Structure 1
Amino acid sequence: MTLIPTRFSGLCALFTALFLSAQLWAATPMIPAPPTLAAKSWLLMDAKTGYIITEYNADQRLAPASLTKMMTTYIASEQLATGNIGYDDMVRISEKAWRKGGSKMYIREGTEVKLEDLLRGVIIQSGNDASIAVAEYIAGSEDAFADLMNQTAYSLGMNNSNFVNATGWPAENHYTTARDLSLLARATINDHPEDYAIYSEKEFTYNNIRQPNRNSLLWQDDSVDGIKTGHTDEAGYCLVASAVKDDMRLISVVMGTRSEKDRAAESQKLITYGFRFYETVKSYDAKQELLASEIWKGDSNSIKLGTEEAIWLTIPRGTADDITADIEVPELLMAPIAAGEKIGTIQLTLNGDTVATKPLIALESVEEGGLFKRLWHWLVLMIKGLFS
């Protein structure tokens, strides 16, 4: 056995510690601070997980301008899904809809327009006339539709929003927030993908008038497929955008910029940042067996445990291998246990931070065992209790 002098040994230990520290530092992804935007409010969300990557003044109540029309079309999609209305329904255009100023689809009073065309008029052309026509067709009047908008907002968890019209026309007590709009955007994408596809269309022609989609990111970034622009003097220039790459979909909300160019540029900063430094990963599949736990007094000696849904996480890019899982289940499980019954929890941790906590469920049913087995397990457990 070779002895190393104490001084040299100390130097070895120092160099070893420095080497390991350097390796750890090199393995830790470097993520810059999120971009600061020239806007009143903004937010960036992972649409799949709901994780907020960055935000600023996300709960400040602001005028939404034509971002309001996201709610108008979401309600129309809800009504279509239930069968209350149909895409081919012919909608009679009222004088109120025809006379409304601002951006227009250019529908005429007294004519009938197919509902599907009106939806494109709202989404692509941002038509105030089309928005009112849709609102009146669904609820009878725009005022009644506004009440439906607020009920829908409440159901989506949009707790800082209030709508008084279907267009976003400036009005007292008509407001929302960046956070609430991200919730609405996520619901639009997840609940009604068939209608969400319209948001990616670059133009629409009605009454021989061709109008382009006002979302300029559709031309600038192939990953962008929506969603909606808005502008009034009070609101400034606003944009809710969504983009998808591989397994990751981002939703950006930017409110209160100074120009059309700015709202696109500031939104692009968020989207680029999100894709560059974060990723969406699936840690476990839905109903994947994560543990076979011992069970007593049952017709089986073990029970398979997992999660009801797949576990998706939003994490810094390149850190998936650093995720650790901690499963907690009761020390004693007794039959009967039904499939789907909550048994424990799984907690996922990344570098000391909890990134997800999900309930653990029984993936199968275990019925009571026979009389002899139940008596035998009762005796074993009693003896264990005496000696524990």
Structure 2
Amino acid sequence: MAGAEGSFSRVFRKVRAGAARLSAAVALSALAVSGVAAQSAFQTPAPSAILVDFATGAILFEKDSEKPFAPGGTVKVMTALVVFDEIRLNKINTDTTFIVSENAWRRGGGPSGGAAMFVPVKSATRVGDLLIGMITVGGNDAAIALAEGVAGTESAFALKMNEAGQQLGLTGSDFRNSTGFADPAQKSTARDMAQISRYIIRTFPSLYPMFSVPDIEWSKVKQRNRNVLLNAGVGADGLQVAWIKDGGYHLVGSALQNNQRLIVVVMGAKSEKERIDEAKRLLEWGFHSFEHRQLFAADAEIGRATVFGGTQGSVALAARGPVTLLMPRNSQDKLVAKVTYTGPLKAPVAKGTEIAQLEISRGPLKVMEVPLVTTEDVPVGTLWQRAVDGAGVLVGDAARDLGQKVLAKIGK
């Protein structure tokens, strides 16, 4: 079988009109279970943690990942998402300038005594610089200036944060400000932070490198990136850290090794050391324990769908790209693939039409669902071909096969 690896068998099946199909959300949920059997081998003292495979969204490890915490400075990951989206929609760009208000300067700048970019009050500052100042050193002055520049007020910006959260399907978050300043109603979870991070990395590849800027200098104050995971030797290249009084130490990070990216979130650690140690251990365990296996190469024929009334009786089906599955290393599990569609298809059929689903199962567990598209056009057939197809419906597939043979002889 072209493009397949390991122990793998295939079953193909037609589904009549009205048959139920899995939704993308259900498929993701099934996929998310793929690491459950292996995660028992890993334990962490952190109160809440999650490790996610970036490519598939599979959860490799989780511990109380839906427990809500005051997010503190990690909320700036969501602040960045909203601003990135404004850039994507061409409402602003990185060269757009925002005025750093007295409110932003006083509450978030030098006078506040907290994490600051130290941008001068009432200065016109580039959005790109404000983003880097907020992301690398947790600048609260930059976060407030961005919120006011985008939405007018920080409370109006918080509405945008929650709207974005709803669109992402976050279930445990409520955002009240762009900085992470204490607010009894503001909360988030490790699972939600991982989902936000995955969306940022996937959707904004040209902006994500802002998270790995090593240092900045403003108002003659030079500061290094506060995300200590970047220098932990695990391939980390983003995102954010925070400490909350009586709430513990948080870390949201991502790392890349051998073309495999993992996202890690640790929340509520009892010390800065525990935070970095557990994040590093989780990443090292994930990279060591799991690997992507290619089941089908890009454009490989995975199955065929029957076509009624066309120039040919079937059309090849393929995925839009390589089909890969995250598996425990050295796993000998048997996988079963099943193609489902509503058919037969009625000609004409256009190339690239999504008409089927590939379902991958490991034992009783369905672990992946991939849409399949047609690989060629199938025009409407001749009167004879359509008549043969009609006879096939009445008499059965045997009549169709015989008719096609007759037509082949007539055509010679």
Report the secondary structure of 2:84's partner residue.
Answer: helix
2:51 is matched with: 44
Q: 2:381 aligns with which of 369, 381, 384?
A: 369
Shift of 1:349: 2.9
The 1:40/1:380 distance shift into structure 2, 3 A limit, reads closer
1:106 is matched with: 118
TM-score (normalised: structure 2): 0.81
RMSD: 2.3
1:56 is aligned to 2:34: no
In 2, Cα distance between the equivalents of 1:191 and 1:329? 30
TM-score (normalised: structure 1): 0.86
Query: RCO greater where, 1 or 2, for CA within 8 Å and sep 6 or more?
Result: 2
Q: Letter of the 1:239 partner, please give it.
A: L
Q: How does 1:186-335 map to 2 (within 5 A)?
A: 186-319=198-331, 322-329=334-341, 332-335=344-347
Identity rate, percent: 32
Q: 2:96 aligns with which of 78, 84, 89?
A: 89
Q: Letter of the 2:78 partner, please give it.
A: M
The 1:167/1:49 distance shift into structure 2, 3 A limit, reads same
Report the secondary structure of 1:338's partner residue.
Answer: coil
Q: Letter of the 2:71 partner, please give it.
A: P
Report the secondary structure of 2:45's partner residue.
Answer: coil
Report the secondary structure of 1:252's partner residue.
Answer: strand
2:188 is matched with: 176
Which 5+ residue runs of structure 2 have no aligned equivalent?
Answer: 1-36, 400-412
Q: Highest CA radius of gyration, 1 or 2? A: 1
The 1:262/1:109 distance shift into structure 2, 3 A limit, reads same
Shift of 1:341: 4.0
In 2, Cα distance between the equivalents of 1:148 and 1:367? 48
1:79 is matched with: 86
2:395 is matched with: 383
1:148 is matched with: 160
Contact residue 43 and residue 56 of structure 1 kept, 8 A: yes
Which 5+ residue runs of structure 1 have no aligned equivalent?
Answer: 1-29
Contact residue 234 and residue 284 of structure 2 kept, 8 A: no
Contact residue 132 and residue 167 of structure 1 kept, 8 A: yes
Residues 174-183 or 212-221, more deviating = 212-221
Q: 1:119 aligns with which of 120, 126, 131?
A: 131
Contact residue 34 and residue 54 of structure 1 kept, 8 A: no
Contact residue 76 and residue 134 of structure 1 kept, 8 A: yes
The 1:68/1:322 distance shift into structure 2, 3 A limit, reads same
Report Cα offsets for 1:206-240 as digits up to 9, x if no partner: 22211111111211215111111011104311001
Contact residue 63 and residue 234 of structure 1 kept, 8 A: no
Residues 118-127 or 221-230, more deviating = 221-230
Report Cα offsets for 1:151-200 as digits up to 9, x if no partner: 11111111221111000011021001111101100011011112111111
The 1:32/1:299 distance shift into structure 2, 3 A limit, reads closer
The 1:385/1:184 distance shift into structure 2, 3 A limit, reads closer
Residues 252-261 or 99-108, more deviating = 99-108
In 1, Cα distance between the equivalents of 2:348 and 2:62? 47
Contact residue 124 and residue 214 of structure 1 kept, 8 A: yes
Residues 107-116 or 131-140, more deviating = 107-116
Shift of 1:364: 2.6
Report Cα offsets for 1:217-268 as digits up to 9, x if no partner: 2112151111110111043110011111123110000000122211110101
